[in-house]
Structure 1
Amino acid sequence: MDILKSLGHPEELFNLFKFKMGGCRAVMPKLDYESMSESLRTCYLYLNQTSRSFAAVIQALDGELRHAVCIFYLVLRALDTVEDDMSIPLDKKVPMLNDFHTYLYQDEWCFTESQEKDRQVLEDFPTISLEFRNLAQEYRDVISDICHRMGVGMAEFLEKKVGSMKEWDQYCHYVAGLVGIGLSQLFSASQLEDPEVGRDTELANSMGLFLQKTNIIRDYLEDTQEGRAFWPQEAWSQFAGRLEDLAQPEKLESALSCLNLLVTDALRHVPDVITYLSRLRNQSVFNFCAIPQVMAIATLSTCYNNPMVFQGVVKIRKGQAVTLMMEATNMRAVQNIITQYSQEVGCVVVSVFPAFTTSTFFNAVGLVLPLCRFYRRSPSPIRHGTRPCTSWP
């Protein structure tokens, strides 16, 4: 089926074949599980069970940073599982979220009442917290701080709706911007990246917001069917009386207008993404950061003006994903990818909404394309590390 979807894209067929024949090792080297403790091996097992996409790029990170990010991911996955579990009553969930960071230092704490698919990270939290306590102090401080701030933010939004566009930014900051900030601080703590990367929280926040907004836009149908509402009311109330009404066939035109508005809002973070990536020096960190971002812009391009967002699951082709993963290893390639998908959305805008040539969309993309051209001319900053780096001529 994956091959059939890529029949019109020969480069994807080539990359799918290359990937299956071992080409993936260029960006995702095989881990040495034999040298790990049993508890650390279990953590990597949970990582692969709970996130196929992030697991690959996490396991490709260099040195001790790999373990720190693995544990960071699992701690936040456990926190997110509590937030998502609609079976936990609010009077129990709110204090759990507020106090979750304290469980990192409680040897035996676990939660066995979750109904979520990723509940194993709560049921076996003692294994995760053990490996957390085995990390160096500088990593523990970052993870604990971000876990605390995120839990407080999640608890805040459990008791109120995402109303304004500003509140949408705030919610995305709590659940994803803080992840970007925490990861950046881990990169700097590992000394694989310069201190500036960890200090510039505005750029790091934008990295997280771009990914989170993409996920929220794409997951409209799944979230509304499960009683979760993450699209901002300020946006959808312009087009429908209730958020779930956008899925009604007779509301399609209004639904697409709302969808396109949110995609345009997400695109305004792309200039910060480009600037952030341009500062990275370590190849494994660059791959880790760049691959999810190019997947996100490809997903946004697929979602734009797409009725399937309101009818099912919108995904990019596997061949497309593999091609992006194998190509997004240097700044020149990334700027080409961002330019391509920004222009694809622009073509849809021009063909469907010819009067919108001075719209917010073009204001946003007007910032993206000059940055891409600038970084195409600039020399690659990435240092050669433990694996060869694709140089930028």
Structure 2
Amino acid sequence: MSAAKQVIVVGAGIIGASIAWHLAKAGAKVTVVADSGVGGVATPNSFAWINASWGNPEPYFRLRTRSMAEWTRLAQDLPGIPLAWCGGLCWDLPAAELEAYAAEHSGWGYGIERVDRTRAARIEANVTELPDFALYVAEEGVAEPVATTQALLADAQRLGARVLTGTAIIALVQANGRVAGVDTSSGRIAADEVVIAAGAGSPAIAATAGLKLPIETPPGLIVHSRPYEKLLNGLVIGDRLHMRQTAEGRIIVGSDFGGADPGMDAEATARELFAAMKSMLRGADGLELDFHTVGYRPTPIDGFPIIGRAQGVSGLYVAVMHSGITLAPAVGLFAAREILDGARDPLLEPYGLTRFAQ
């Protein structure tokens, strides 16, 4: 492993922060550059559910469960990370599909418990609209996204990394047939390798080197209450709403974990979601709406991550995905190894850019 390799990480969200921290820990000279503040753009608007839940083919399930295990490792290395294995109660599928998901994922080793209404009420006593049949996964959790990103970048700085926020990327610099740095609003920075981990901003940056990233950025509205007494124990993935209570007591809610469609009037949609959430919670009479966010989720067009070097553009590594909260520890670890050692983890094999070649 080359301790002297100079790497620029573009993006200060949770994926960029994890890659930067893992690189710095491995001895690289790291510079993080972002036009946003610490936390990036999508990360602060995340529901922050750590899971390997429904809708995952087995290879993606394996990557997600590995990353869930890496969260435990990361929290041991950085004890200040606000990580909680609070469990997830789910009934956001028709009963037959819920059972099929449980059978499939249980067969893969996911710790799913089938629960009736009585058991669900013991898990979440303050939810008033519980189903006859739900699934509970005790090993699912949350990591408060901005605080986690801040912790990663602060420790990366302790390890010698530079963090330049509020710095716009103008273009990737190319020299001798490879990417050799970035031009920024504060000047040029040279590097041996550049990592694009800028979420929704990644396609525009990649395009300056002639690289097309096939990414969509659907909006998602999340509603945040004012801090309140504890009403929820864990994640509630219901058929109407997805909810959780943050470490500071805010209840956040969306029509799904990616957020609601904000519609033509995001404020009106937020008020409707908040009213629906209050109606589902016992003891919520004093709960007050504080604010809503509309995040733009960087989602490759086939729904799966883009992680790896760009073919035909030497010196450039790309890490863009939805599910950044779940995947951050494993992506940071695997990307650092690949960038410094050239060793690509087999779990990343399906997620290179070459799959879009046709």
Q: TM-score, normalised by structure 1?
A: 0.27
If asked which structure has higher relative contact order (CA below 8 Å, sep 6+), I would say 2
Q: Which has the higher helix share?
A: 1
Q: Which has the higher strand share?
A: 2
Q: TM-score, normalised by structure 2?
A: 0.29
